[in-house]
Amino acid sequence: MPNGSSSFFSDLIISYMLISYQGDTPDRPHTMPHHPTVKEPEGAEYYEMLMLKLFSITGSIVALGNCVTFMGSFVGAVISVVDDTVSFSALWFQLFLNLYGFTLAFSVILIEFRYEPIMERCPVFKHWAPRGFYYIFVALLALQVTSQQIVFSDPSLQDTWSIVNESFAYVLLCIGGVYIIGELLCLRKSLQKVKKKYVKDGPFFEASLV
């Protein structure tokens, strides 16, 4: 009896599989999924894609670094208020600017990731020149805001923190400048053509290229 039941279920499963897949016929072409091969860049296009990936990753890391510096400056300001070192009325604008800067720096990460809601609502960032000016604005805000706040009581740690702040801000400023120059030299359009051959738009590093 067990053998008979097992055979029955085996025949039932096989029959279901045959019904589900009847092969490629004129009426039902390509019933089973086909996985097309992905074309890989070659020659000069390979190095162009590699350069764009590295540039996009660098932009995201630098923007993340600026997020950290803005938030560190915000926390330092909060500690100053809690310890009664400085009154809230004297620091409220500093607190606001740090939160404002953090939001802008985080938006840079979303832009580099080509986050779809951002790109749909702000299509201007698809162009390098506006994107570059925006990055420069965030970098200048970081230089102005984070450098004014004392975060560590130890002078050596504070000096190191200031160097880190300025480094992230200046690198972001340079990235913004590269975007502007690249737009003026019409590099974006040529690189966009290369990118479209190999990468589909989406919320990934590769999609943020160009």
Cα–Cα nearest to 109, from 198, 203, 7? 203
- Top pLDDT among 116 and 130 is at 130
d(CA 177, CA 133): 8
Query: Tens of pLDDT along 150-176?
Result: 777 778 888 888 898 999 999 999 999
Long-range contacts of 19-24 (CB under 8 A, 24+ apart): none
pLDDT value at residue 63: 92
pLDDT value at residue 78: 83
* Residue % of the chain over a pLDDT of 90: 22
Structure tokens given for 74:
């915000």
Query: Tens of pLDDT along 190-201?
Result: 777 777 776 665
Q: Please state the domain extents for the chain.
A: 1-35, 44-208
The whole-model pTM stands at 0.71
Chain mean pLDDT for the chain: 75
pLDDT value at residue 112: 83
Lowest-pLDDT range of 79-93, 104-118, 125-139: 79-93
Structure tokens given for 158:
């504070």
The size of the chain, in residues, is 210
Lowest-pLDDT range of 66-80, 121-135, 147-161, 176-190: 147-161
d(CA 140, CA 153): 25
Query: Tens of pLDDT along 36-85?
Result: 334 666 677 777 777 777 888 888 899 999 999 999 888 888 887 787 77
* Residue % of the chain over a pLDDT of 70: 71
Contact 191, 48 (CB under 8 A): yes
Region 90-112: what's the mean pLDDT?
Answer: 88
Contact 131, 109 (CB under 8 A): no
Largest CA distance in the chain: 87
